[in-house]
Every structure is written in C-alpha cells, then in structure tokens.
Amino acid sequence: MIKDFEYLAPKTLGEALALLEKHGDECKVIAGGQSLLILMRQGLVAPAYLIDIKGLPGLATIKLDPKEGLKIGALVTHRAIEKSPEIQQRFGVLHEMERRLASIQTRNWGTIGGNLCHADPAGDPAPVLIAMNATVTVTSTKGPRTVPLEDFVLDYFETAMQHNELLTEIRVPTPAPQTGTVYSKFNVIESELGTVGVAVSITLSSKDRTCGDVRIVLGGAGPRPLRAKQAEAALRGKKITDDLLKEAGERAAAEAQPISDINASADYRRELLKVQVRRMAAEALSRAEKN
C-alpha cells in the first residue's frame, strides 16, 4: 500500500528546485513513475512530498548541435528517443537500445532522466551512453553542474546527485570519424531488464584496423555500469585481430563483478560477458570501418 503523501506540481524548473531545497530528503521527484511507483507500492520509498516534474517546460526536447553534439532533456521519454529521426540517423545505437527497452507502454511513460536517476545496474541507457562519453547536467537553485555519466552512478540505485538537485540534460558528443558503437543486452524475457548488457565504442586511427580509442561498458555486471578497462587495454593502440577480440572478452569477464540472483548465476553472467564483449567489439570494429 502506498503511504499518504502531499502531491506538488510545480509549473517551472525554478519552482521545482525551490521545492526540492525546501523539503530536502522528505520529498521525492516523480517523472514517468515507472520505477518510483513500484518502490512506493512495495513500501521501500515513502516520501512525505511527491514533486511531479513531468509537466515542466523545456526539459522534453531533443536538440542536435553541430559543435556540442546531442542534447537530450531529462524528461524525454524512451519512446521519443526511439522515434527521433535525428537520433536514428546520427546516433543509431541509441535507437537500437531504446527499441529493446521494456514494452512500448513503459517506453511511452518512462523518461531517460528517470532511468539514469533510478540507477538500476541492469538499466540499458547508462552503459551505451557511457561508451559514448556522455555527460549529464544536474541543476539546483545554485545553478547547473556537469558530471561525466561514468561518475554519476555510484552504486546500486545510488547517484552523485544531492537531494536538492534535478537531472536536467544529457549530452552526447558527436562521435569522431571512423567510430563504431554497439550495444546489446542478453535477456531471457524480451522487454525486460537484461541478464547482462555490453556496450562497445571503437575509434580507428587508421585504415588498417588500428584501434585509436575504445570504451567497453558492462551492464548487470556489478553494482554500477562498469568500464572494462583491462579489456580496453587489450585493444587500444593495437591492430585488432580475432585473437585480441577473444582476449578482450576474457579480460572483461575477469574484471566484472556479477552477482548470482534469480535470473542467472555469477559464473553464467561471466560466460555471457566473455562472449558478448568479443562479439560486440567485432561489430563495433565493423561499423567503425564503414564510418
């Protein structure tokens, strides 16, 4: 049963921030409610005040800037990202990721900001956005600050945001030429959270498959999205071969910190990561060669 709370619906960002400042950790923000309402129904979260931000103006837009890249407002829904022609053409991997996130009903309500703030270690957007070197803007009454997404998620369902802050924007830089980015999740039930997820972004420095830069990010493999830095080191600066791809997979599996739960054992998750990292890195390489 959901405990009683006072419902507040600010009309502007300024009003919302003032309410957050005033009510501190007694309040909770609600956007699409797809994660929060479940926690409230289970009695795991029981705020005295619920601040509904879904109607705030200016936070539900997608903008493409030639210099600054892609800017996605925190209130943009998963479905809007999936359907955006600009994203489909220029940041296709985000479209592919969103297409397989939850059901259409959940995608219609759930927001990208809510997903990142909920910080579920199996969430889909964080690994792919970290692989793309995304940053987030968090705003309080004192103004905005920018945080690399990689540093935003701290632990299971915990972020670097303070009680008086709102996530307002996600920024994704335009990928360098010869960059290929891929994300795939392995899930038992389609339209559910993945057992593991793997995002790989490779930038080639020459035509002969030499890896200039690489980011490999694992989801469902620890308390937060995990950069597999040993696996990246296996590829960075080298001419990529099948043996190196295999080594990257093995290193990623070794540095992952998966748990055993109702969906899979830790060993099974490691095995999946080993295979998925090898396959996704091969696919990222193939895309980089075409870009």
Ligand X SMILES: Cc1cc2nc3c(=O)[nH]c(=O)nc-3n(C[C@H](O)[C@H](O)[C@H](O)COP(=O)(O)OP(=O)(O)OC[C@H]3O[C@@H](n4cnc5c(N)ncnc54)[C@H](O)[C@@H]3O)c2cc1C
Binding to ligand X by residue 27, rule CB under 6 A?
Answer: no
Please, which of residues 116-135 interact with ligand X by CB under 6 A? Answer: 117-118, 123-124
Shortest distance (Å) from residue 16 CB to ligand X: 9
Of these, 16, 19, 28, 269, which contacts ligand X (CB under 6 A)?
28
Degrees to nearest 5, angle at CA 21 with 17 and 27: 90
Find the farthest-apart pair of alpha carbons in the chain and give their distance in angstroms, rounded.
63
Shortest distance (Å) from residue 191 CB to ligand X: 6
Name residue 272's amino acid. Answer: L
Of these, 15, 192, 247, 283, which contacts ligand X (CB under 6 A)?
192
Shortest distance (Å) from residue 137 CB to ligand X: 10
Q: Which residues pair with 137 in a beta bridge?
A: 146, 169
Binding to ligand X by residue 8, rule CB under 6 A?
Answer: no
| Residue 130 neighbours by CB under 8 Å, 6+ apart | 149, 150, 199, 215, 217, 225, 227
Task: Report how far residue 55's alpha carbon sits from residue 12's, in angstroms, rounded to the nearest whole number.
Answer: 9
Please, which of residues 208-237 interact with ligand X by CB under 6 A? Answer: none
Neighbours of 280 (CB within 10 A): 26
Task: Report how far residue 255's alpha carbon sits from residue 124's, in angstroms, rounded to the nearest whole number.
Answer: 20
Please, which of residues 48-77 interact with ligand X by CB under 6 A? Answer: 53, 74
Q: Nearer to ligand X by C-beta: 153 or 167? A: 167
Of these, 8, 73, 80, 111, which contacts ligand X (CB under 6 A)?
111
Alpha helices in the chain (DSSP H): 13-23, 36-41, 78-83, 85-90, 92-99, 104-109, 112-118, 125-131, 149-152, 229-235, 242-255, 266-290
> Angle, nearest 10°, between helix axes 266-290 and 242-255?
140
Which residue's Cβ lies closest to ligand X? Answer: 114
Shortest distance (Å) from residue 13 CB to ligand X: 10
The stretch near ligand X (CB under 6 A) out of 5-13, 65-73, 103-111, 233-241 is: 103-111
Binding site for ligand X (CB under 6 A): 28-36, 53, 74, 101-102, 106, 109-111, 113-115, 117-118, 123-124, 166-167, 192-193
